[in-house]
Amino acid sequence: MYVAVKGGERAIENAHAWLAEERRGDTGIAELSIPQIREQLSLAVNRVMAEGSLYDPDLAALAIKQARGDLIEAIFLIRAYRTTLPRFGASKPVDTGAMACDRRISATFKDLPGGQVLGPTFDYTHRLLDFKLAADGEVPAAPSRDADMGEVPHVTEFLNREGLIEEAPKEDTTPPDLTREPMEMPADRALRLQALTRADEGFTLGLAYSTQRGYGRNHAFVGELRIGTVPVEMDIPELGFAIEIGEVTLTECETVNQFTGSKTKPPQFTRGYGLVFGQTERKAISMALVDRALRWEELGEDNVGAPAQDAEFVLYHADNMQATGFLEHIKLPHYVDFQSELELLRKLRREAGADQLQEAAE
């Protein structure tokens, strides 16, 4: 006996209640606090801020807690919240040259003004599980000294002075905003960079890696990688001048890539660029490599058909909100379309079967 399925509403409510219980886990174990997540899972927080396109460590930590540590789900919570926020205005462009760097390394020069600063990096750690952490996470204070307050100029500026690298001319036009305008092709570099900085880290990493393995190789040197804080300034109409409204941590990667030249221009290195919220260096380096690969056309390179060269492919598939939503929607009922396929297939099979019988009879 068939009874039409009812009670979807109650099923949903119960599922949500169960989810909340599972999120909390064993109540005999202390609950995670937002500050704990913010302070101790800060790289997860950074990823959520970067791909969520919203710089707010506390909200990102809350999202991670609510999402049970599923970072894409956390990014989703942040993005959905972000769209409801009113927009007061736009900040002035940040000056990464004036960054207070925690980390600044160059793979192209052994030493340079501002120096090499390793900062808090996993590089050179031996990836051995530290069982001490399982018992007691307390660590002695790291040695410190006063920061050098000297300038930390961009490495590419040195190359630029000699004309060894392509110019990156200053652009004062307002870039397009992919959160306010539908993305349309062809996308200029500003729009591509905007899409890449919030792109899925895994997707961007995979694409960047593919360029290193020959799918659109552009031979990148990390000219410079810097992580630190920059002040954010905004013009306040009532005041008539800009004031500092806060600071954000950014990761910036500038790559120095294989050179190009032509009859009219002597050979020069080219640039790839990555800039991402938070300490997110894997993402920033990946972004720079993909940015460089996407520039094949303006640099007069061949399109070798590599995925990372294909702006439409990259930009339409890099957003993990779009990807995960559409991928997971196939969990939704498709009874109706499936039924129509069933009928078509039965009809085709019936006719094929009939034909075969006829052939056999002949």
- Give yes or no for residue 11 binding another protein (CB under 8 A): yes
Tell me the CA distances in angstroms from 271 to 125, 178, 196, 274, one per residue in order: 30, 23, 16, 10
State the minimum distance, in angstroms, from the CB of residue 344 to another protein: 4
* The one among 111, 138, 181, 362 contacting another protein by CB under 8 A: 181
Tell me the CA distances in angstroms from 322 to 71, 290, 315, 316, one per residue in order: 15, 19, 11, 9
Q: Among residue numbers 288 through 327, which ones bind another protein (CB under 8 A)?
A: 312, 316, 321-322, 324-327
- Give yes or no for residue 12 binding another protein (CB under 8 A): yes
CB environment 99-123: b (16+ within 10 A), e (fewer): bebbbbbbebeeeeebeebebeeee
- The site for another protein, by CB under 8 A, has a size of 50
Helix (H, G, I), strand (E, B) or coil at 173: coil
Contact 57, 302 (CB under 8 A): no
Helix (H, G, I), strand (E, B) or coil at 165: strand
- Give yes or no for residue 180 binding another protein (CB under 8 A): yes
Phi, psi of 260 (to 5 degrees): -130, 165
Q: Pick from 276, 324, 277, 271: which is nearest to 298 by CA?
A: 271
Beta bridge partners of 250: 228, 277
- Give yes or no for residue 122 binding another protein (CB under 8 A): no
Q: Which is nearer to another protein, 269 or 277 (CB)?
A: 277
- Give yes or no for residue 334 binding another protein (CB under 8 A): yes
Which residue shows structure tokens 């030249």?
Answer: 261
Q: Which is nearer to another protein, 151 or 337 (CB)?
A: 337
Contact 74, 64 (CB under 8 A): yes
State the minimum distance, in angstroms, from the CB of residue 18 to another protein: 15
Q: Which amino acid is at 235?
A: D
Q: Which is nearer to another protein, 147 or 352 (CB)?
A: 352
Q: Among residue numbers 160 through 179, which ones bind another protein (CB under 8 A)?
A: 179
- Give yes or no for residue 358 binding another protein (CB under 8 A): no
* The one among 341, 353, 356, 357 contacting another protein by CB under 8 A: 341
In sequence order, what are the residues at sequence separation of 6 or more whose Cβ sits closer than 8 angstroms to the Cβ of residue 195? 178, 183, 187, 314, 315, 318, 319
Contact 286, 205 (CB under 8 A): yes
Q: Among residue numbers 68 through 97, which ones bind another protein (CB under 8 A)?
A: 76, 79-80, 82-84, 86
Q: How far apart are CA 64 and CA 77, in angstroms?
A: 9
- Give yes or no for residue 20 binding another protein (CB under 8 A): no
Q: How far apart are CA 194 and CA 274, in angstroms?
A: 10
- Give yes or no for residue 359 binding another protein (CB under 8 A): no
- Give yes or no for residue 342 binding another protein (CB under 8 A): yes
* The one among 134, 142, 185, 361 contacting another protein by CB under 8 A: 185
Q: Which is nearer to another protein, 168 or 344 (CB)?
A: 344
* The one among 32, 183, 190, 234 contacting another protein by CB under 8 A: 183
Contact 284, 291 (CB under 8 A): no
Binding flags for another protein, 243-272, as an x/- string (CB under 8 A): ------------------------------
Binding flags for another protein, 186-225, as an x/- string (CB under 8 A): x---------------------------------------
> CA torsion angle for 21, 23, 27, 30 (degrees, to 10)?
-160
Q: Which is nearer to another protein, 55 or 76 (CB)?
A: 76
Q: Which is nearer to another protein, 97 or 202 (CB)?
A: 202
* The one among 135, 333, 359, 361 contacting another protein by CB under 8 A: 333
Per CB under 8 A, residues contacting another protein are: 1-2, 4-9, 11-12, 76, 79-80, 82-84, 86, 179-186, 312, 316, 321-322, 324-329, 332-337, 339-344, 347-348, 351
